[in-house]
Amino acid sequence: MSKQGKAKPLKQAKVAEKDYDENDLAYLQKKKDEQKALKELKAKAGQKGALGGSGLKKSGKK
């Protein structure tokens, strides 16, 4: 193998647009909404810090 730089990536064939029916569109919209909600929950959880706030557990011994 000689050192001639990076090999060019192969060109990918263009994908034709798919025809979506109402069920597909509803599913895609639902999936998009779930991703948005998940992202918001992660942002909200990140602001509060550790979940539960329990920290280190102490043993029951005295």
pLDDT, tens only, 14-40? 777 777 788 899 999 999 999 999 999
Q: Above 80 in pLDDT, residue 2?
A: no
Range of the domain at 38: 20-45
pLDDT of residue 13: 78
Q: With 0-12 CB in 10 A as exposed, 13-18 as middle and 19+ as buried, what is 62?
A: exposed
pLDDT, tens only, 43-56? 887 776 555 555 66
> Is this structure's pTM higher than 0.85?
no
22: which 2 tokens? Answer: 């109402």
Residue 2 lies in a domain: no
Residue 31 lies in a domain: yes
pLDDT of residue 61: 67
pLDDT of residue 20: 79
Number of domains in the chain: 1
